[in-house]
Structure 1
Amino acid sequence: MSTSSAPKIDLHTHSRVSDGTDTPTELIAAAVEAGLSTIALTDHDTTRGWDEAQQAADAAGLDILLGTEVSTRLEGHSIHMLAFGAPAKGALAEIYERTRESREGRMKAMAEKLAEDFPITYEDVLSHCGPGATLGRPHLADALVAAGCFPDRTAAFNGPLRPDSPYYVGHWAPSPVEAIEAIRSVGGVPVVAHALSKTRDFSPNPEQLEEMFSYGMAGMECYHRDHSAAAQDWILKFCEKHGRFVTGGSDYHGTGKPNRLGENVTDPQVLVEIRRMITAESL
């Protein structure tokens, strides 16, 4: 759902608490300016922006759905899982802690490798992160851009930050099934993000997606700028076949990506279903 006269519901955004460039408060202000009726905050592997975002949304009169984007790995490849209404408790909190620690070690290792050929240091990378932010390759990209090595994040990602680059270092992440079980255990609603992205070198196959459904994955993000029209059509038919819903979101990162708030949105009835599924434990 890319355009609609219905309420504009964007269920995939990031703040400076992970790899966006807006604070949660600035993100809410931008959402109001963009004419959104509902926004989901889905920072990577953290809920640290929830309180600020909720307070800002309440003050602005904007409906908000709190969530995260959980890093997972399948056959050595990155798969992201949106987790709506899932507080950092129990197994999910342990996953976040382990992932964030691994991301920090990975960031140091990549910065050291890059420093051999580019004029950046690990401290330069940290200067582009918000306090307590989940560290990611976008912060490395920002340091490279600031050093004049690349014009923007995209160029850096297409260069030394590519997964097949000699500078690349991976980080630990749970399997999609482990993440789904942890999200469900705290009453959250798991939805796989941009699974058929044309910018990634791997997509889960139908059997792998069906296994995720069998463990409680509630739906798939369909409307995303990295999904071709053919990919969106496939996701719609696949989810309809399996009785699952689809979502849409901008994957907004502030100035870090060209993605604009509200460029892809979610059907209002899907939002109603997500909130129905969120159990009392996570409210």
Structure 2
Amino acid sequence: MRIDLHTHSTESDGTEAPQQVMAAAAVAGLDVVALTDHDTTSGWQQAASAVHEQGVALVRGIEISCSVGGISVHLLGYLIDPSSEPLTRELDHARDSREHRARRMVDLLTPDTGLTWEQVRAQAAPGATLGRPHIADAMVVAGVVADRNEAFATYLASSGKYHVSHYAPHPARAVELVRAAGGVPVMAHPLAHQRGRVVDESVIREMADAGLGGIEVFHRDHDDASRRRAGELASELGLFVTGSSDYHGTGKDNRLGENTTTPRVLETIAAQATSPTGILWP
């Protein structure tokens, strides 16, 4: 069984609609895929509608944008109850902050690039969680940069003059919210140094104390040393290990199924979840 537990659609910063992600998962030979859009569950219903047609099981999930000490942390939450009020309140706050941040960044970029808010909005599906990838895509369309990678390496770099911070919960708090929503929290690519600064291991230990279930060890942004250390941390803290693609369609080079999770770990996730949201099988 081939299982990929980290993908994105047009409901956040992917380039394919949820149904297209499911179709792509079938073409890639996956048996199970998780849809984990940033700070939203709005793509679940669309993805669920394609389960039987594509013959691919769906793990309904989310990727929560967190921060500690100015360092970004991403937390995957699987099988949460989307009606959990504490979680939805936190997500609404984060999404509002992200949109205000994007608007402010565009305001800063406009004098130097000519980029407009209308051009950025045109890159996002209605109701999608808007973020820097949409700004990057608008810059590509406008001919300012060649691709997303160039945009993030230059104009959208966290250390650059156009950077604007935004609200994001502490990752340990996000872990608690996922557990309270009956879901299973997994830290995404915790040692991906090439993305920028990573949190101290003490933060991962704090997340484990708060109820973290697993660590995404097998990810393309982890080199061999990072995978080895992440695996050691998982073993030390009693956490399970996942592997995933972090698929974004054409938005990134990541390919579906390039890293996978074992069936035994999927069983563990299903067993730990306490919400009514189960795995949707064909």
Secondary structure of the structure 2 residue equivalent to 1:80: strand
Secondary structure of the structure 2 residue equivalent to 1:43: coil
Match of 1:218 among 213, 218, 230: 213
Secondary structure of the structure 1 residue equivalent to 2:130: coil
Per the TM alignment, residue 77 of structure 1 is displaced from its structure 2 partner at its CA by: 1.3
Paired AA for residue 59 in structure 1? E
Secondary structure of the structure 2 residue equivalent to 1:117: helix
Per the TM alignment, residue 280 of structure 1 is displaced from its structure 2 partner at its CA by: 4.0
Provide the residue aligned with 2:118 in structure 1: 123
> Which consecutive unaligned segments of at least 5 residues does structure 1 have?
1-6
Q: Work out whether residues 140 and 146 of structure 2, in 8 Å CA contact, stay in contact via their aligned partners in 1.
A: yes
Inter-partner Cα distance in structure 2 for 1:139 and 1:280? 32
Q: Work out whether residues 180 and 217 of structure 1, in 8 Å CA contact, stay in contact via their aligned partners in 2.
A: yes
Q: Work out whether residues 71 and 199 of structure 2, in 8 Å CA contact, stay in contact via their aligned partners in 1.
A: no
Secondary structure of the structure 1 residue equivalent to 2:235: helix
Provide the residue aligned with 1:76 in structure 2: 70
1:57 partnered with 2:54: no
Provide the residue aligned with 1:250 in structure 2: 245
Match of 1:103 among 98, 103, 112: 98
Secondary structure of the structure 1 residue equivalent to 2:13: coil
The residue correspondences of 1:79-94 to structure 2 (distance < 5 A) are 79-88=73-82, 89-94=84-89
Per the TM alignment, residue 146 of structure 1 is displaced from its structure 2 partner at its CA by: 0.5
Per the TM alignment, residue 198 of structure 1 is displaced from its structure 2 partner at its CA by: 2.4
Match of 1:273 among 245, 264, 268: 268
Q: Work out whether residues 72 and 198 of structure 2, in 8 Å CA contact, stay in contact via their aligned partners in 1.
A: no
Per the TM alignment, residue 59 of structure 1 is displaced from its structure 2 partner at its CA by: 2.6
Per the TM alignment, residue 86 of structure 1 is displaced from its structure 2 partner at its CA by: 1.1
Provide the residue aligned with 1:4 in structure 2: none
Paired AA for residue 272 in structure 2? M
Inter-partner Cα distance in structure 1 for 2:260 and 2:57? 14
Q: Work out whether residues 65 and 74 of structure 2, in 8 Å CA contact, stay in contact via their aligned partners in 1.
A: yes
Mean Cα deviation higher: 202-211 or 36-45 = 202-211
**Change over 3 Å in CA distance of 1:278–1:46 after alignment to 2:** same
Q: TM-score, normalised by structure 1?
A: 0.96
Provide the residue aligned with 1:3 in structure 2: none
1:183 partnered with 2:216: no
The residue correspondences of 1:7-26 to structure 2 (distance < 5 A) are 7-26=1-20
**Change over 3 Å in CA distance of 1:42–1:280 after alignment to 2:** closer
Match of 1:40 among 7, 12, 34: 34
Paired AA for residue 143 in structure 2? G
Secondary structure of the structure 2 residue equivalent to 1:116: helix
Inter-partner Cα distance in structure 1 for 2:182 and 2:276? 6
Inter-partner Cα distance in structure 2 for 1:207 and 1:62? 37
Deviations 1:211-237 (A, max 9, x none): 110110011100000001111011111
What RMSD in Å do the two structures reach over aligned CA positions? 1.0
Per the TM alignment, residue 45 of structure 1 is displaced from its structure 2 partner at its CA by: 0.0
Q: Number of paired residues?
A: 277
Provide the residue aligned with 1:113 in structure 2: 108
Per the TM alignment, residue 148 of structure 1 is displaced from its structure 2 partner at its CA by: 0.7
Inter-partner Cα distance in structure 2 for 1:150 and 1:140? 11
1:28 partnered with 2:22: yes
Per the TM alignment, residue 281 of structure 1 is displaced from its structure 2 partner at its CA by: 4.2
Paired AA for residue 255 in structure 1? T
Deviations 1:163-216 (A, max 9, x none): 011111111011011111111101000011111002232222222211110110
Paired AA for residue 106 in structure 1? R
Paired AA for residue 56 in structure 1? A
The residue correspondences of 1:137-156 to structure 2 (distance < 5 A) are 137-156=132-151
Mean Cα deviation higher: 249-258 or 51-60 = 51-60
> Which consecutive unaligned segments of at least 5 residues does structure 2 have?
none
Per the TM alignment, residue 90 of structure 1 is displaced from its structure 2 partner at its CA by: 1.4
Paired AA for residue 243 in structure 1? G
Per the TM alignment, residue 282 of structure 1 is displaced from its structure 2 partner at its CA by: 4.0
